[in-house]
A = this chain, B = another copy of it.
Amino acid sequence: MNPVLVNRWRGNAIESRHRGAVAVTDAEGRLVLSLGDVRQGIFPRSAIKFLQAIPFVESGAIARFGLDERHVALACASHNGEPIHAGLASDWLERVGLDQDDLECGAELPMHKATQFELLGEGRGPQRVHHNCSGKHLGMLSSCLVREEPTRDYRRYGHPAQRRWFDVLESVGRARVMQLPWGYDGCAIPTLAIPLQRLALMMARFGEPARFEGARRGAVEAIHSAVATNPYLVAGKERLCTALMERLASRLLVKVGAEGVYAASATEHGLGIVLKIDDGSDVAARVALGAVLATLGLIDAEDQRALGEYFSPELTNSRGDAIGRSEPSSTWSSVEGTEEG
């Protein structure tokens, strides 16, 4: 039974409660912080994108198509679909000689509400480049092109474009990924149900490029650099991943996943951090991530204040009055992080 991690207060009572599990491990998979069932399989969804981008960077597509680190950041993104994101996706399609129909992620309105409303106000509708995963899909397509593989159906479980990142997980995480339960993700590629602690180990290892050799090492370094120097491309306006990486730069590489997931590498401490809210709440996942980072000493009181809209978000009514707040539960007061991490 996973503990309550986050409470949503309304007035002087708790309105809703969010349970979940947290695993923080070192690169050997040793638990530094553990809450709830860390052996449960969770769908990381987009939280695994840094690892999924490795085969793209290793493929040589960057040199072949004249791409740069902005494209690498977009391959790791769950982006807002703002003009800067959709524009870069369109630019990338042009560079590789494909068009939107080749993206198999489906068309969506931009995730960012104001951008969405602006688009609708102009009488425009959903497009594939707006999909928050369009960069990941472009990365997969690009590596197919370099390898001269047919790109059609690259989204399927059995396609080499997917098998390549399965292999990365096998190798980085010493995981038997072909035995994992799986399903299709919102963007139509597979997502695997990975045990929480195992995924934390993968994130810890990803955080230390020096563990890898040759092309793999170069790819991991390139992703670190791309993400840390382009955090806006990884998410965008009013997004926690961007706000956190703008503050902490390469010290914390962090990625959200749908249905209440975060995965991060605390690079200086050699830690992998993964959390899943049982019920899939994204608001609760942000609050829980703040509590984990504070417990581990990876953020200070000033960071917590600056990121308060994510870590203890106010509840407002339709008039804009503050009427409550989501907060870490009392569970956290009894949690101790390991000092040296």
List residues of chain B with CB within 8 A of the CB of A65.
Answer: none
List residues of chain B with CB within 8 A of the CB of A13.
Answer: 41, 43, 181-183, 193
A268 at the interface (CB under 8 A from B): no
Q: Are A43 and B18 in contact (CB under 8 A)?
A: no
List residues of chain B with CB within 8 A of the CB of A120.
Answer: 117, 120-121
A162 at the interface (CB under 8 A from B): no
Q: Which residue of chain B has the shortest Cβ distance to A131 in the bound complex?
A: B318
Q: Measured between alpha carbons, how far is A120 from B113 in the docked complex, in Å?
A: 12
A155 CB, nearest partner CB in chain B, Å = 9
Q: Which residue of chain B has the shortest Cβ distance to A180 in the bound complex?
A: B13
Q: Are A183 and B10 in contact (CB under 8 A)?
A: yes
* Contact string against B for A residues 252-292, beta-carbon threshold 8 Å, 1 for contact and 0 otherwise: 00000001100000000000000001111100100000000
Q: A8 with B43: in contact, given A120-B117, A317-B187 (CB under 8 Å)?
A: no
- Most B Cβ at <10 Å: residue of A18, A120, A191: A120
List residues of chain B with CB within 8 A of the CB of A333.
Answer: none
A178 CB, nearest partner CB in chain B, Å = 14
A280 CB, nearest partner CB in chain B, Å = 4
Q: Measured between alpha carbons, how far is A319 from B284 in the docked complex, in Å?
A: 28
A277 CB, nearest partner CB in chain B, Å = 8
